Homo-oligomer: A and B are copies of this chain.
Amino acid sequence: MGRPSVKAQRSSEILDAFETCVARYGVEGATLERIAAEAGLARALIRHHVGNRDDLLKALTRRFLAQSERHQQDLLDYLPEGDRVLSLIDLLFDHSQSDQNFVLVAEALIAAAGERPELAAQLADWVHSFIALIAAELRREYDAAAADAIDAVAAGIAGIYFNVDSLTTLGDMGGLRQASKQAALRLVRSIELDHESR
Contact stretch, chosen from A1-9, A44-52, A56-64, A121-129: A121-129
C-alpha gap A62/B163 in the complex (Å): 23
Task: Assess whether A187 is in contact with B156, with CB atoms less than 8 Å apart.
Answer: yes
Among residues of B, the one whose C-beta sits closest to the C-beta of A122 is: B170
Cα-based distance from A175 to B152 in the complex (angstroms): 10
* B159, A180: Cβ atoms closer than 8 Å: yes
| Contact assessment for A155 and B180 in the assembled complex, using a CB-CB cutoff below 8 Å | yes
Q: Which residues of A contact B (CB under 8 A)?
A: 24-29, 104, 107-108, 110-115, 117, 120-121, 123-124, 127-128, 131, 148-149, 151-160, 162-164, 166-167, 169-171, 173-176, 179-180, 182-184, 186-187, 189-190, 193
Residue in B156, B167, B174 whose beta carbon sits within 8 Å of that of A183 in the complex: B156
**Chain B residues whose C-beta falls within 8 Å of the C-beta of A166 in the assembled complex:** 107, 110-111, 162, 166
**A182 to B148, Cβ gap below 8 A?**
yes
Q: How many copies does the complex hold?
A: 2
Is there contact, CB below 8 Å, between A124 and B173? yes
Tell me if B127 and A167 are in contact (CB < 8 A): yes
A117 to B172, CA, bound (A): 12
Are A183 and B110 in touch, CB under 8 angstroms?
A: no
Chain B residue numbers with a CB within 8 Å of A29 are 26-29
Q: A110-B170, A113-B169, A128-B174 are in contact. List 11 more A-B contacts (CB 8 A).
A: A123-B170, A131-B176, A152-B186, A153-B183, A155-B183, A156-B156, A156-B160, A159-B162, A162-B163, A183-B187, A187-B187
Known: A170-B124, A186-B153, A190-B190. A108 touches B110 (CB 8 A): no
In the assembled complex, the Cα of A187 lies from the Cα of B131 at a distance in Å of: 18
A24 to B115, CA, bound (A): 7
